[in-house]
Structure 1
Amino acid sequence: MAFSEMTPSEQLKVVNTAIESVLLGGQSYAIGSRKLSRADLSLLRQMRQELQAEIAAEGDSSLLDNTFVAVFEEPR
């Protein structure tokens, strides 16, 4: 499944795993002539903050909960 097709919660799990990989294994390393560079840690942290905010906003619809609209028309 593509990252963009995942829910924000699923995306957050992937980002947290990527952050853990960078913290435990380093930003980049080389074995012989092969090199591996992981995603930028600051970018991953920014993505995590944005996803956490998005997830929090999904459940926070209290601003207009229990709001009703009444239309009063003049009698003819």
Structure 2
Amino acid sequence: MIEQLRSQLEQINLAISKIESGAQEYKIGGSRSVRRGELATLYKERRQLQTELANYENSGGMYAVAFYR
């Protein structure tokens, strides 16, 4: 479960990074377009995953989470 959470967090961080660098939407072959998720939604999901991961890593004890934007 921890590895799955880490993988999801890594994917969300990558999506956020790409959007922040200007890759929110792009076209493929002129007829198809791809739009990445909204930043606010991705930030919210990242916070949730970071909290879940901290809970698993610390066995439900006290924990600290760093939120990066």
TM-score of the aligned structures, taking structure 1 as reference length: 0.61
Structure 2 unpaired stretches of 5+: 62-69
Between the aligned partners of 2:52 and 2:36, the Cα distance in structure 1 is: 25
Aligned to 2:36: 38
Structure 1 unpaired stretches of 5+: 1-5, 64-76
Aligned to 2:64: none
Once the two structures are TM-superposed, the CA of residue 59 in structure 1 deviates from its matched residue by 1.8
Q: Which runs of 4+ in 1 moved over 4 A?
A: 29-34
TM-score of the aligned structures, taking structure 2 as reference length: 0.66
Report the RMSD for the aligned CA atoms in angstroms.
Answer: 2.2
Aligned to 2:9: 12
Identity of aligned residues (%): 36
Between the aligned partners of 2:25 and 2:60, the Cα distance in structure 1 is: 44
